[in-house]
Amino acid sequence: VYAQELVPGKIGTMAGLTVGLAFGMGAIGSVALGYIADTLGLSNMIILTGFLPVLGLLTLLLPPDERVSEWNN
């Protein structure tokens, strides 16, 4: 929805790009996790992926949209 709000005249295009990006990042992520599993071992890879939600929590520290738009002006 956020991408569609950024480009209101091209809702279908933005929806397609968003879904395509999600699938593409999932494919890249699975390749990366497979490489890590081959290199470090499966149990170590599972432990490392347990820390991935911490990255999501760090996004709470990002500035709100209003502040970012102030920086751009």
| pLDDT of 4 | 79
Q: Which two tokens stand for residue 35?
A: 């490489």
Q: Which two tokens stand for residue 42?
A: 């499966």
What are the tens digits of pLDDT across the range 22-54?
999 999 999 999 999 999 999 999 999 999 999
Q: Can you give the residue range of the structural domain that contains 53?
A: 2-72
Across 53-62, average pLDDT: 93
pTM score, whole prediction = 0.61
- Domain count within the chain: 1
Across 4-19, average pLDDT: 87
| pLDDT of 42 | 95
Burial code (b: 16+ CB inside 10 Å, e: under 16) for 9-47 equals: eeeeebeeeeeeeeeeeeeeeeeeeeebbeeeeeeebee
